[in-house]
Amino acid sequence: MSLDRKVALVTGGSRGIGRATALKLAEHCSHVAINYQGNQAAAEECLEMLKSKGVEAMAIKTDVSSPEGVREMIARLEKKWGGLRVLVNNAGIHRDGLALRMREEDWDRVLEVNLKGAFLCARAALRSMVRGGWGRIVNVSSVAGLAGNPGQINYCASKAGLLGMTRSLAREMARWNITVNAVAPGLIATDMTDKLADESLETLTSRIPMGRMGTPEEVAEVISFLASEAAGYVTGQVICVDGGMLS
């Protein structure tokens, strides 16, 4: 699954699935950048882990919902390393609440980061991919975007929107040898699940046929495949990494 000498960018890459994905891509790419917005310490830690794998790496602080910030981020990557070839849209937030009580600013902010941010990054990256005649975009959605989840109407809408964007963009970009796919993780052991009460976690886990949470590394393996040469005839697809939760 060689990605030798390819340049990759993982948004929201300092922790969880993003970090695991960046580290996995470092096994196949020669240059890996991570984007982060808040936790500089986590970003610097991830950066050192990437460099220890022998790749050139950088961490860029950017709000992916800012058009100007995204343009500057991609321009910085291209100036330093040349054309971007792999983009993993992983950056995401959640601001939970029942629909009847949800503030409009919480709806707007989640959609801005999770959906608009992915669009802005893809649009900026595609120019380089088209010039190079090769590219891979992987959007990190969620099973919540397929099944819904009470108290997360904004999050679920953003993740469902990513799926429509994935399928449409795949049709647009296929002629340039650019694939666009999505992964939909289920219950994954990350900072988000660490905040759940033990009782809630047990209830959620009981709904998974495999009887356990997934790991960020298991999601990263699928993303790495979709970003590779081996997935050259796979585009417009949504792959659930959920232990059978939606089966």
The predicted structure's pLDDT at residue 33 = 97
pLDDT digits (tens, 9 = 90+) for 142-177: 999 999 999 999 999 999 999 999 999 999 999 999
Domains of the chain: 7-188+219-237 (3.40.50.720)
Residue 36 a catalytic site member: no
Geometric angle at alpha carbon 74, from 118 and 123, rounded to 5°: 40
Gap between the Cα atoms of 15 and 21, Å rounded? 10
- pLDDT single digits (tens) 59-95: 999 999 999 999 999 999 999 998 899 999 999 999 9
Would you state the pLDDT for residue 203? 84
- Distance from C-alpha of 11 to C-alpha of 35, rounded to nearest angstrom: 5
Q: Pseudo-torsion of CA 83, 1, 217, 170, nearest 10°?
A: 60
pLDDT at 4: 65
Measure CA 191 to chain center.
15
Predicted TM-score of the model (pTM): 0.95
CA distance 240 to 134: 25
pLDDT of residue 3: 64
- Out of 155, 159, 162, 208, pick the active-site residue: 155
| pLDDT confidence of residue 2 | 57
Q: What pLDDT score was predicted for residue 97? A: 95
Mean pLDDT in runs of 10 for the chain (247 residues)?
A: 78 97 92 94 96 94 98 96 95 95 98 98 96 96 95 97 98 98 95 71 89 96 96 98 94
Q: What is the pLDDT of residue 198?
A: 72
Q: Which helix (H) or strand (E) holds 216?
A: helix 216-226
